[in-house]
DNA sequence: CATAAACGCAACAAAAAGGTTGCTCATTAG
DNA sequence: CTAATGAGCAACCTTTTTGTTGCGTTTATG
């Protein structure tokens, strides 16, 4: 999941898909300096991580965002952050005792 | 940032640091099947991403969590999620009009 | 129907990531 | 003081990622 997000190209694709409608591969390729196949691979990675969902309509594949995995990632970070806060609080309590 | 989180070993290190006190490299290595150097590399990656902070105390380096970058990542995911919700809302409004 | 657009698949090349080994240095413990 | 522990550095190897090129297939368009 995080590995899928850990790439500039994929993050930019995500950004473009986040605030618009589903887009085809050719459309997503325009605006990058990469070939269509390179972009395709990135899209498949994101799809494999469950972040995107693709639908074939006519001769094009349209990719759209799938918000659930993103929420899960957010929840995970919440967890880490909260655990750390707790650990600090315990440390503080220990030091002050 | 996400790239730094996108590795099992590093995630587990993060998990172990999240709910405890700062730990040395040798300590973090125990419990993995990796060599100390391998773990060291992962720690440096996390440090390079700003997720960890290391302090040399005596002959050991202790690593601790730095919560700010994690909050930033969370905020980013919030953003993407919110933008997508808005996009869906706009689409819905458009369809119903 | 002929052509072009959008895509999938496979082979390949280059670069980056992940990991090990060997050696050295500094710090602590006995 | 001596030995052992905790680390840093560098070279090297293997695997994964990232990207390209070439070719074939399906769908739309003039």
Q: Give CA B94 to chain center in angstroms.
A: 39
A34 CB closer than 7 A to any strand D atom: yes
B13, closest residue in chain A (CA to CA): A80
| Predicted confidence (pLDDT) at residue B60 exceeds the cutoff of 80 | yes
Residues 6+ apart with CB under 8 A from B62: B22, B23, B24, B54, B55, B56
Residues in A lying within 8 Å of B, measured between beta carbons: 1-7, 11, 14-15, 17-21, 65, 67, 70-71, 73-74, 77-81, 83-87, 91
Average pLDDT, integer, range B4-30: 96
Do the strands A52-57 and A60-65 form a parallel or antiparallel pair, or are they unpaired? Answer: antiparallel
- Helix ranges, B1-97 (H): 2-5, 8-18, 25-29, 36-48, 67-96
Domains of chain A with CATH codes: 2-96 (1.10.10.10)
Write down the residue that tokens 């269509």 correspond to. Answer: A36
Model pLDDT for residues A9-68, shown as the tens digit of each residue: 999 999 999 988 999 999 999 989 999 999 999 999 999 999 999 999 999 999 999 999
The shortest CB-CB distance from A81 to any of B1, B3, B67 is to B67
């Amino acid at each position: 999941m995080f590995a899928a997000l850990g790439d500039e190209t994929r993050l930019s694709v995500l950004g473009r898909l986040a605030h618009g409608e589903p887009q085809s591969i050719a459309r997503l390729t325009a605006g990058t300096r990469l070939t269509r196949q390179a972009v395709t691979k990135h899209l498949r990675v994101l799809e494999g991580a469950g972040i995107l969902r693709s639908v074939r309509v006519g001769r094009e594949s349209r990719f759209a965002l799938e918000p659930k995995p993103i929420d899960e990632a957010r929840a995970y970070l919440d967890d880490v952050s909260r655990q750390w806060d707790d650990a600090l609080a315990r440390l503080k309590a220990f030091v002050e005792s």
